[in-house]
Amino acid sequence: MTWFSKSTTTFGFLLLAHACYSAYEHSALQSHRAASLSSLSATQQQAASSSLPLDISLETIVATVIITLGLVLNTAKLRPIQWRVWAGQIERAGEEGARSSSGEVDKDYVGNPFKLLESRPGFVDIRKQRKEFAEWVKQQ
Amino acid sequence: MTSSLLRPPGHLSPATALQLSQQAPNIIKNSPGAVTASAFSSLFSAPETPELWTIYENLLLSCLRTGDEESAHLCLGRLVNRFGDDNERVMALIGIMKEADATDDATLEVVLKEYEALLQENPTNTPIVKRRVALLRSLGRIPDAVTALTGLLDFSPTDSEAWSELSDIYFSQGMYGQAIYALEEVLVLQPNAWNIHARIGELLLMSIKSGDQNDSAKQLGEALKRFCRSIELCDDYLRGYYGLKITTTQLLEDPPKPSKQAESDGLSPPNLPTLQKLDGLATEKLGEITRRFTAGERGWQGFDEAEIVAARELLEKSSSTTVR
Amino acid sequence: MAQLPPQTIQRDPQLFYWILFPITVVMILTGILRHYASVLMASPPKKVDQPSLKEQRSLMHGVAVRSNSHALSAPSFKARREFLTTAFESGAYLKDPERRGQPPANPMTDPGAMDGMMGMMKNNMAMMVPNTLIMSWINTFFSGFVILKLPFPITIKFKSMLQAGVATKEMDPRWMSSISWYFLCYFGLQFVFNFLLGSDNAASQMAQQMQGMAPQAPNMFGPGVDADKQFQAEAENLAVIKHYSVLDDVEQRLLEGIKTR
């Protein structure tokens, strides 16, 4: 999915750049013509220089829409907002659920926030933990 | 892996703790040491983040657990450099360090004396109060620990961690009623903690097993409701379904006499069809969870291995009884 | 439409080095100085002694029991309600139970309250003094200088803002006087400070003014509040609450929820 959205965005940007360049060329051409045809009447000159051809405006609008589409398609999957779905994801998937597309675990991922109530870091019995760890090492 | 360093390492398996503490020298080398107090250099160094200090704290605990004293001392040194040794949390960490270094009970008594001296100075130093409780409990002086803890809860009844510890102490003494009361206090402070709901259910089941109260209809009913609530708060909560399965099995096999008190409190177990439906639901869900976990499906690997094994055993036992 | 020829003013390039640049540097340095001054002057949060801590936390506990009563089953809520209402009404959690019913002490005589006011005074002084100094410094040395031209056209309305201290009628509003540059720095340097000192700096006056303008949150445990009255009110709230429990019919909800999914 990502390559699709990325190519869409790139294509949109190309279109936009092209539209910009065309508009610039158009205005440059117009001013050049105005300078060379200064003998013509003022009203004609103004009408010619003020209007941009329809295809350039259309191209700009289409480019914007395509860029927006590409960016929207590229957004990460939305997180659940229902409590139980969110909680269920934590329980079910663990860290996997918070992994973004690049494989990084989300920075503000905390797991089950209520786990603290059972592990209770403030009351940690360090000696017991050390003993358990020593036994575990012996078993290995 | 740093993400797990942002969480306290108490519940991690020894293997993970070892892995974390092995990263310690690396992390210590790479992170900025003492954040300098001079304004000039702070303009150019990366801004310090709160995460850094959380990582140091958790690293310290992991290192102490795996016996890597050197790294632990380095971590503590940096924390002291940053926050000073009169910071309450740092004081508690220093205390933990001393506890870990102590080799015999006499040294621990000295540490305990130090805690008491600190509390004499400032009785509201919560981290130290908690350390004192933990040390008393570790020394086996349970009544003293309970007294100290209730003292803490008397002036700070909004500390859910302390209530939870109190519940655990009571539970270790077999005083189920008090343990449940304390957990209910936790729920008052954190009403959506699904694991606490399940824990209350478990305590209720255990208190029925131990048989110190006779109104089992009410207790079973409440346990059932607690498990249901925990599942309602958290989809696919293995522990909740496990408890639900046990409770419904017990209720179906050996329905307790309906009691008047349970009726009036609204805690009587539901009627037979509902029970059967709940039982079916729990069986189905447990089956699904174990199946998907063992199949290695993506997004289902967060469960605890041991819990899955237990769930599978429970399912096998129940299916064998129904076949017979 | 006849186009006016753009105004040109011959400016000494030294103006840039001796006015524009010094004002900017001084503004930034004052901001940094103010930040560190307020860090140094900040008094550490006052230690709360045990009885008052107990008073506050007990009240919070009462509020928690009331608002989260649904997590409890009916009998356990009833027990808590009875216990808490009696305790609240008898004033068991009060800091000094002998002082019940007396009017609250005058906050001016309470040293705890004075501390807070001193902190506010200090902050205000740290803001006012440098501002006055710099303003008068600019006024004495640099008043009446036109120091730069904005690169974009603006309307005539900005004239009074940008050309403060320069009384010429005909000048294009794009020209800017030194005192106006000072004001622009005053309002616009916040992001520079954010970059230099981190986002919660005390350098920017704007943020502090915003703070000052925001309505003060009602201070729940501040001085001058009668804790006993709060406890009485909380006891009443607890007594009248209509209790329901999430445990009622939870199994029905669960079965229906699973089915509809």
H/E element, B303: none
Question: pLDDT digits over C112-166, tens only?
Answer: 666 667 777 777 777 788 888 888 888 888 877 888 887 777 777 777 777 777 7
Tell me if B302 and A97 make a contact (CB, 8 A cut-off).
Answer: yes
Rounded to the nearest angstrom, the minimum Cα separation between C44 and chain B is 12
Question: pLDDT digits over B203-255, tens only?
Answer: 999 988 887 666 778 888 889 999 999 998 888 888 899 999 999 988 888 77
SS3 for chain C is: CCCCCCCCCCCCCHHHHHHHHHHHHHHHHHHHHHHHHHHHHCCCCCCCCHHHHHHHHHHHHHHHHHHCHHHCCHHHHHHHHHHHHHHHHHCCCCCCHHHCCCCCCCCCCCHHHHHHHHHHHHHHHHHHHHHHHHHHHHHHHHCCCEEEECCCCCCHHHHHHHCCCCCCCCCCCCEEEHHHHHHHHHHHCHHHHHHHHCCCCCCCHHHHHHHHHCCCCCCCCCCCCCHHHHHHHHHHHHHHCCCCCCCCCHHHHHHHHHHHC
| Global confidence as pTM | 0.77
Question: pLDDT digits over B27-85, tens only?
Answer: 776 665 555 444 455 555 555 677 778 888 888 888 888 888 888 888 888 888 888 87
Average pLDDT over residues B175-200: 91
Q: Chain B, 248-277: which have a CB under 8 Å from a chain A CB?
A: none
For residue A101, CA distances in Å to A72, B6, B296 come to 15, 21, 20
Tell me if B229 and C36 make a contact (CB, 8 A cut-off).
Answer: no
Give the pLDDT score at A13. 95
Task: Rank A95-109, B293-307, C72-86 by mean pLDDT and report only the highest.
Answer: C72-86
Most B CBs within 10 Å, among A95, A108, A109, A123, to test the B interface: A123
Rounded to the nearest angstrom, the minimum Cα separation between B273 and chain A is 26
Q: How many CA atoms within 13 Å lie on the side-chain side of C163?
A: 20
Question: pLDDT digits over A71-119, tens only?
Answer: 998 887 787 888 888 888 888 877 666 665 555 566 666 677 888 888 8
Tell me if C53 and B156 make a contact (CB, 8 A cut-off).
Answer: yes
Average pLDDT over residues B84-100: 86
Minimal-distance CA residue of chain C relative to B43: C196
Cβ-Cβ contacts under 8 Å, A123 against chain B: 130, 133-134, 137, 161, 165
Minimal-distance CA residue of chain B relative to A128: B138
Tell me if C57 and B157 make a contact (CB, 8 A cut-off).
Answer: yes
Question: Which pLDDT band, with edges at 50, 70 and 90, does B170 fall under?
Answer: very high
Give the pLDDT score at C2. 45
**Chain pair B-C, CB pairs under 8 angstroms:** 91
pLDDT at A69 over 90: yes
Q: How many CA atoms within 13 Å lie on the side-chain side of C87?
A: 16
Rounded to the nearest angstrom, the minimum Cα separation between A104 and chain B is 9
Mean pLDDT of chain B: 82
Give the pLDDT score at C101. 64
Tell me if B265 and C32 make a contact (CB, 8 A cut-off).
Answer: no
Give the pLDDT score at B39. 47
Main-chain phi, psi angles of B8, to 5 degrees: -60, 140
Average pLDDT over residues C3-21: 76
Tell me if A87 and B6 make a contact (CB, 8 A cut-off).
Answer: no
Cβ-Cβ contacts under 8 Å, B199 against chain A: 118
pLDDT at C111 over 90: no
Give the pLDDT score at A9. 92
Tell me if B225 and C65 make a contact (CB, 8 A cut-off).
Answer: no
Give the pLDDT score at A133. 85
Most C CBs within 10 Å, among B225, B235, B245, to test the C interface: B225
Domain ranges across chain A: 2-74, 83-139
The interface predicted TM-score of the complex, written ipTM, equals 0.80
Domain ranges across chain B: 1-35+49-84, 94-156, 192-324
Task: Rank A50-54, A84-88, C168-172 by mean pLDDT and report only the highest.
Answer: A84-88
Question: pLDDT digits over C187-229, tens only?
Answer: 888 788 877 776 666 665 555 555 554 444 445 555 556 778 8
Burial class (CB in 10 A: 0-12, 13-18, 19+), C221: middle
Give the pLDDT score at A7. 92
Q: Chain B, 32-51: which have a CB under 8 Å from a chain A CB?
A: 51
Tell me if A120 and B164 make a contact (CB, 8 A cut-off).
Answer: yes
